[in-house]
């Protein structure tokens, strides 16, 4: 369905509904990235139609999703898809599906605008309630907590099609936008950076004020909306030191750690770190599309601290265009809703790594849609995943509009540079080497991950899953991890951690990177006690998106493991390699085990597990991880392991591929 065709100066796509004839694009995208976003939206449309519902309680109204007054599956999801449809209406004026798309947008906007708190009293959502702000709202009232975000999607969709929609619907949408913006004029931006950053909230409060000021510039309140927009933009990404900040007079909050890293949901969370710029860029896109003069005035505010914050995110970009999740993830894996973040960074700021990553990300989006077969992105990997699908469709629409705004640039971009960075304020170490990325989280959450780079297939690019137990986790409330020492070396680093977990993991963990491999040495303390003695090494993605199978190689054995087959494999040797692509070699007697998921066991994915159980749970033990290496190389590393230190100062050595000798020990 919707097969790619060579040649992008004239993009020909087949209509989804109605007469099946070629449809010429009004102004063909001049870049493959932009064309891919349109294709993703077209693939998504049939599934969106399957979740459409007419709403007889309001004449001419309807909604996508569940229509509720709260939650992500109600107004937020429906308005997000309405924005995606608005893009299709504009970009395919000759399509037989155009009238239906336009009718869907109008009905969804009528439903959202009438059921808003500022609308008629008798117009309510399917759950009998209103949504959004109300006249008595103050900063302590949670009723309108997220409604500016929802209203922004609704309002921008209306503004894009203003000349083609019912004047009454446009008037109603403007009323909602003004009501939401009016409240934000009175409420100061929130401050908070530890565990629960207010970056996201301040960010999503800015587009509605930018939309109001640019869409209704002659309204008597427009100047107040403009000031509120500047206020929220300036306080989306904020740090304590404002001495060199050109907007310091506007800054009244702190939302980030001094390093520009962000904590949300209790730990370092890159998805929420990008949300700030997502919203800032979205608001600027609205203003630049509707009123360039207003956009010009807001430009320095929409750019505030975006680049220094991007420098943190940039360091976690993988070759797939996805991000590493050094402290884990509680959103859906591979949701790809950060596409418009890359679009903003790549088109507006001309950031080469963002351009490079976006080109890869949009191919992964199309690949995941192809696997699902019905236009969904997340698919069956998340139960009741409507709102994730809607968020994605909205993001793809915004990404396309970013590219259109800048004339469809064709910049090739460039990959992120190799680096070793330590963020001590957030408790994070990240290394991007030539063939791998290594991350260590030692802040509010303890976790270490290894990501192979340069993968050619989806199975290679998406092999490591950010399970919270990986390598040195899982810590819970009351547990403590302390970084005792950190030192950069010619090819990597050496870090020593003290683990003090209430569940019994009390030990010294030494981690040593040598560029293309990384070793972990654990020295149990006197009170060390771990259930079953297991050392959880890594979670491996294994589901349809990653190829539907993994090949597990050990000494004299190669077994293909079908995704979600369930069961456990105990291996006879102290090494295992996954797909000739990711190797694990253990130093001491014990067993390796590969456990297979029997269902989707995390949002967006199914993850298998690699587990090592040392024979002596009290003895020092080491594991070397070899990203991008095959089974023979993994076996050779394991066979070369030697204990080279006395019991009071344990050390191990191993011969790495290429002849490099690794020595990891209690002493440097």
CA–CA gap between residue 316 and residue 354 (Å, rounded): 12
pLDDT digits (tens, 9 = 90+) for 91-129: 999 999 999 999 999 999 999 999 999 999 999 999 999
Average confidence (pLDDT) over 406-430: 95
Helices 199-215 and 167-186 cross at an angle (nearest 10°) of 130
φ and ψ at 204, to 5 degrees? -75, -10
State which fold the 419-665 domain adopts: Beta-galactosidase; Chain A, domain 5 (2.70.98)
Nearest C-alpha neighbor of 205 from the set 131, 155, 151, 254? 151
CA–CA gap between residue 269 and residue 46 (Å, rounded): 33
Q: What band does 61 get if pLDDT is binned at 50, 70 and 90?
A: very high
Average confidence (pLDDT) over 346-370: 97
pLDDT at residue 28, as a whole number = 60
Average confidence (pLDDT) over 501-518: 88
Q: Taking the CB of residue 56, how many other CB atoms lie within 10 A of it?
A: 9
pLDDT at residue 589, as a whole number = 86
pLDDT at residue 136, as a whole number = 53
Average confidence (pLDDT) over 206-219: 97
Query: What does the mean pLDDT of the chain come to?
Result: 90
pLDDT at residue 477, as a whole number = 61
pLDDT > 70 in the chain, percent: 93
pLDDT at residue 11, as a whole number = 33
Domain ranges of the chain: 419-665
Burial class (CB within 10 angstroms; exposed 0-12, middle 13-18, buried 19+) of 617? middle
pLDDT digits (tens, 9 = 90+) for 524-571: 888 777 777 889 999 999 999 999 999 999 998 999 999 999 999 999
pLDDT > 90 in the chain, percent: 79
CA–CA gap between residue 76 and residue 35 (Å, rounded): 26
> DSSP labels for 235-290?
TTS--S--TT-TTGGG-----S-TTS--EETTEE-HHHHHHHHHHHHHHHHHHHHH
Which residues are bridge partners to 570 per DSSP? 593
Q: What band does 17 get if pLDDT is binned at 50, 70 and 90?
A: very low
Cα 644–chain centre separation = 43
Nearest C-alpha neighbor of 76 from the set 347, 354, 291, 392? 392
pLDDT at 62 over 90: yes
Of residues 466 and 71, more confidence is placed in 466
Give the single-character DSSP code of 75. I
CA–CA gap between residue 361 and residue 355 (Å, rounded): 10
pLDDT at residue 140, as a whole number = 46
Average confidence (pLDDT) over 487-509: 90
Taking the model in full, what pTM does it have? 0.92
Q: Taking the CB of residue 258, how many other CB atoms lie within 10 A of it?
A: 14
């Amino acid at each position: 369905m919707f097969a790619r065709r060579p040649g992008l100066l004239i993009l020909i796509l087949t209509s989804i509904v109605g007469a099946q004839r070629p449809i010429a694009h009004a102004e063909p995208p001049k870049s493959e990235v932009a064309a891919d976003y349109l294709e993703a939206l077209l693939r998504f449309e049939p599934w969106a139609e399957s979740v459409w519902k007419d709403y007889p309680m309001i004449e001419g109204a309807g909604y996508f999703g569940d229509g509720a007054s709260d939650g992500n599956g109600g107004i937020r999801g429906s308005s997000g898809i309405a924005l995606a449809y608005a893009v299709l209406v504009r970009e395919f004026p000759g399509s037989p599906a155009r009238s239906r798309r336009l009718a869907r947008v109008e009905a969804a906007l009528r439903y959202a605008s009438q059921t808003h708190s500022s609308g008629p009293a008798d117009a309510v959502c399917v759950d009998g309630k209103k949504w959004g702000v109300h006249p008595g709202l103050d900063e302590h009232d949670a009723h309108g907590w997220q409604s500016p975000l929802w209203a922004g999607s609704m309002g921008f969709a209306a503004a894009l099609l203003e000349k083609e929609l019912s004047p009454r619907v446009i008037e109603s949408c403007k009323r909602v936008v003004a009501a939401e913006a009016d409240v934000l004029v009175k409420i100061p931006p929130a401050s908070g950076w530890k565990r629960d950053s207010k970056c996201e909230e301040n960010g999503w409060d800015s587009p509605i004020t930018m939309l109001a000021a640019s869409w209704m510039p002659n309204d008597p309140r427009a100047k107040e909306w403009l000031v509120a927009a500047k206020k929220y933009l300036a306080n989306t990404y904020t740090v304590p030191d404002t001495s060199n900040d050109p907007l310091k007079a506007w800054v009244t909050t702190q939302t980030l750690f001094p390093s520009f890293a962000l904590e949300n949901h209790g730990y370092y969370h890159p998805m929420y770190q990008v949300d700030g710029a997502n919203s800032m860029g979205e608001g600027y896109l609205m203003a630049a599309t509707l009123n360039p003069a207003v956009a010009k005035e807001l430009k320095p505010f929409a750019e505030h601290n975006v680049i220094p914050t991007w420098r943190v995110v940039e360091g976690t970009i993988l070759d797939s265009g996805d991000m590493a999740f050094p402290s884990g993830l509680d959103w859906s894996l591979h949701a790809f809703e950060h596409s418009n973040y890359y679009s903003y960074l790549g088109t507006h700021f001309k950031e080469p790594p963002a351009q490079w990553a976006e080109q890869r990300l949009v191919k992964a989006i199309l690949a995941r849609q192809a696997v699902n077969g019905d236009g969904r992105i997340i698919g069956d990997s998340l139960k009741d995943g409507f709102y994730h699908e809607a968020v994605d469709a909205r993001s793809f629409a915004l990404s396309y509009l970013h590219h259109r705004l800048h004339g469809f640039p064709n910049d090739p971009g460039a990959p992120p540079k190799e680096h070793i960075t330590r963020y001590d304020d957030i408790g994070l170490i990240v290394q991007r080497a030539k063939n791998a990325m290594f991350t260590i989280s030692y802040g509010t959450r303890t976790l270490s991950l290894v990501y192979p780079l340069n993968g050619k297939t989806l199975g290679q690019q998406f092999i490591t899953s950010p399970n919270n137990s990986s390598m040195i986790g899982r810590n819970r409330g009351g547990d403590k991890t302390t970084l005792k020492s950190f030192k950069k070396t010619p090819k990597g680093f050496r870090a020593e951690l003290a683990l003090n977990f209430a569940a019994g993991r009390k030990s010294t963990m030494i981690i040593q990177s040598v560029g293309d491999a990384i070793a972990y040495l654990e020295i149990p303390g006197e009170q060390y006690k771990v259930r079953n003695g297991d050392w959880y090494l890594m979670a491996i993605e294994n589901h349809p998106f990653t190829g539907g199978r993994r090949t597990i190689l050990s000494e004299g054995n190669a077994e293909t493991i079908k995704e979600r087959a369930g069961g456990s494999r105990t291996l006879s040797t102290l090494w295992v390699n996954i797909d000739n692509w990711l190797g694990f070699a253990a130093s001491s007697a014990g067993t390796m085990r590969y456990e297979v998921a029997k269902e989707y066991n995390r949002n967006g994915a199914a993850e298998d597990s690699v587990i090592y159980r040392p024979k002596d749970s009290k003895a020092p033990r080491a594991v070397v991880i070899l990203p991008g290496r095959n089974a023979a190389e993994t076996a050779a590393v394991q066979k070369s392991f030697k204990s080279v230190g006395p019991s009071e100062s344990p050390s191990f050595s191993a011969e790495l591929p290429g002849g490099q000798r690794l020595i990891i020990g209690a002493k440097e």
